[in-house]
């Protein structure tokens, strides 16, 4: 997806956190590399953006960032079938990969907060509107509609507002008789930050430094100045916050019911 003047719109993915609430997986690998259907959730997120034409990514690295670097350094061969001649060193590829992406891998520090990670990418983000998300959540949002909404309102920032599922099932009664049981209904009146943003470069001025969480002072200051708009999305959204979330996402994928899987294999 191009900006005016022919520049490619960039997608920032924050992928540097410790992922402590998913320690079963993240003691060994960074959270964005936890797999769903044999592929890291980071790959799923990127495939989703690419489906809508957004193919230039800036990955903000931190905890175990070298594992993400190695994944992309070897992406071509990990995704392909090839033959190796051990004597000559010749490599023959058999199935060319389809993903035509440009991926910038930027070390933003081990202990840097989310806002600080964005701030450290400043030199990459001066040429216009960019998108930003986290490396642990997935959605079935139409990203082109999100971008159009942002362009129409003309503010500095757009956040996707989502309605999370309740943690436990809901029972409906007729007196003492249970007449309906709904597993994980939506919390109808609560909207929360879904983590899919469209931003203008000026938002970098709202971030103080490395210790600034994006979700606190920057968003609060954007709100106070009337520069934050919400795009309401009342369909599928799921973060991978803990092992229960991971099992749910894997179940959707394994059953062929993943709402974010729009691309063809």
In a domain, residue 265? The reply is no
Q: Is the pLDDT of residue 172 over 80?
A: no
- The segment with the largest mean pLDDT, out of 27-31, 91-95, 188-192, is 27-31
> What's the token pair of residue 19?
């992922």
Query: What is the domain count for the chain?
Result: 1
Can you tell me the mean pLDDT for 14-27?
84
Q: Tens digit of pLDDT for each residue in 101-156? A: 999 999 999 999 999 999 999 999 999 999 999 999 999 999 999 999 999 999 99
In a domain, residue 243? The reply is yes
| Residue range of the domain that includes 88 | 10-144+195-207+237-254
CATH number of the domain encompassing residue 87 = 3.90.550.10
Q: Is the pLDDT of residue 185 over 60?
A: no
Share of the chain above pLDDT 70, in %: 87
Q: What is the pLDDT at residue 7?
A: 59
Q: Which residues contact 83 (CB under 8 A, 6 or more apart)?
A: 91, 92, 94
Q: Tens digit of pLDDT for each residue in 59-76? A: 999 999 999 999 999 887
Can you tell me the mean pLDDT for 184-213?
87
| Nearest C-alpha neighbor of 14 from the set 97, 79, 109, 92 | 109
């Amino acid at each position: 997806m191009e900006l005016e003047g022919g520049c490619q719109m960039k997608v920032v993915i924050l992928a540097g956190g410790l992922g402590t609430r998913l320690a079963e997986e993240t003691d060994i690998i960074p959270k964005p590399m936890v797999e769903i259907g044999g592929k890291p959730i980071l790959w799923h997120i990127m495939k989703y953006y690419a489906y809508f034409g957004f193919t230039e990514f800036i990955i903000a690295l931190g905890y175990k960032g070298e594992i993400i670097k190695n994944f992309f350094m070897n992406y071509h061969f990990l995704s392909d079938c090839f033959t190796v001649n051990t004597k000559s060193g010749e490599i023959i590829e058999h199935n060319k990969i389809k993903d035509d992406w440009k991926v910038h891998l930027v070390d933003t520090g081990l202990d840097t907060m989310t806002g600080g990670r964005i701030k450290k990418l400043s030199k990459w983000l001066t040429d216009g509107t960019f998108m930003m998300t986290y490396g642990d959540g997935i959605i079935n949002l139409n990203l082109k509609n999100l971008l159009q909404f942002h362009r129409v309102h003309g503010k500095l920032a757009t956040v996707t507002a989502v309605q999370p599922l309740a943690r436990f099932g809901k029972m409906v009664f007729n007196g003492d008789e249970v007449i309906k049981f709904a597993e994980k209904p939506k919390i109808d009146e609560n909207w929360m930050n879904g983590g899919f943003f469209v931003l203008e470069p000026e938002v970098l001025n709202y971030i103080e430094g490395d210790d600034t969480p994006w979700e606190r002072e920057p968003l609060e200051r954007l709100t106070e100045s009337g520069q934050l708009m919400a795009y309401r999305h009342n369909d599928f959204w799921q973060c991978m916050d803990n092992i229960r979330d991971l099992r749910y996402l894997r179940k959707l994928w394994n059953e062929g019911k993943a709402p974010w899987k729009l691309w063809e294999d």
